[in-house]
Chains A and B, each alone.
Chain A
Amino acid sequence: AQRVTQPEKLLSVFKGAPVELKCNYSYSGSPELFWYVQYSRQRLQLLLRHISRESIKGFTADLNKGETSFHLKKPFAQEEDSAMYYCVFGAGSYQLTFGKGTKLSVIP
């Protein structure tokens, strides 16, 4: 069963513009959700997790149980933010289910 949905395959924004990468999940309980990022020619890596409510590289993501969403946001996009972003659902035994990903392109 598809646990996370990322509706946009590609998102292009201008430098300095706000960014919102959408993620919706399907789960009746309390989910564990994460955002992973893959920069060009680099390894897939954890960006942030919902439980820590942290801001990493200016990105934040709030879990909205009413809308079953976990959108990734940044107020001002930078060129170095260009990358593939994956919304990830965590289940028991530390398994992770990845969404299909959104490619963010920041236009100078």
Chain B
Amino acid sequence: EAGVAQSPRYKIIEKRQSVAFWCNPISGHATLYWYQQILGQGPKLLIQFQNNGVVDDSQLPKDRFSAERLKGVDSTLKIQPAKLEDSAVYLCASRHPGHPTGELFFGEGSRLTVL
């Protein structure tokens, strides 16, 4: 089966600019996650969707970050305006409802550099 697809793979922007990342989960995976991984740290959950509803966005900096999953499939994560500390890899992951707890499938990630 095809894996989780993410784009773009790399993005370089100036601070205060905006950026958007796209994720296409594995077909049939109802749960979708966005993680932020800063260099030298483990991934940190930003937001979790169940179909097109938000399950948890408690760690999403809502003043500048937004995410949507309108049709319960693809998802977009936006940052506006970007700050230097947003430089990180943004990972998308998905989970099938029938799969065991903890088994997430990750995309390759989108690496953001903010100058």
Size band of the interface chain A makes with B? 20 to 34
Chain A 2-48 residues near chain B, CB threshold 8 A: 9, 32, 34, 43-46
* A34→B43 CA distance, assembly (Å): 14
**Minimum C-beta distance from B44 to chain A (A):** 7
Chain B 27-44 residues near chain A, CB threshold 8 A: 31, 35, 40-44
* A101→B42 CA distance, assembly (Å): 6
Instruction: Judge if B108 is at the interface, Cβ distance under 8 Å.
Output: yes
Q: How many A-B pairs with Cβ below 8 Å?
A: 58
Contacts of B35 in A (CB 8 A): 98
> Per-residue 0/1 for A43-55: is the Cβ within 8 Å of any B Cβ (1 yes, 0 no)?
1111001011000
Contacts of A90 in B (CB 8 A): 101-102
B106 touches A45 (CB 8 A): yes
* A10→B112 CA distance, assembly (Å): 25
Contacts of A101 in B (CB 8 A): 41-42
Instruction: Judge if B56 is at the interface, Cβ distance under 8 Å.
Output: yes
Contacts of A93 in B (CB 8 A): 48, 50, 55-56
With an 8 Å Cβ cutoff, the count of chain B residues facing the other chain is 27
Contacts of A97 in B (CB 8 A): 45
Q: A43-B107, A46-B103, A88-B102 known; A95 and B95 CB under 8 Å?
A: no
Instruction: Judge if A70 is at the interface, Cβ distance under 8 Å.
Output: no
Contacts of B3 in A (CB 8 A): 43
B42 touches A95 (CB 8 A): no
A32 touches B42 (CB 8 A): no
Chain A 83-105 residues near chain B, CB threshold 8 A: 86, 88, 90, 93-101
B45 touches A96 (CB 8 A): yes
**Minimum C-beta distance from A2 to chain B (A):** 10
Measured CB to CB, the nearest residue on chain A to B95 is A94
* A96→B56 CA distance, assembly (Å): 12
- B: residues with CB less than 8 A from A are 3-4, 31, 35, 40-45, 48, 50, 55-56, 91, 93, 95, 100-109
Supplied contacts A44-B91, A94-B31, 4 more A-B pairs, CB within 8 Å = A32-B102, A49-B100, A94-B102, A96-B102
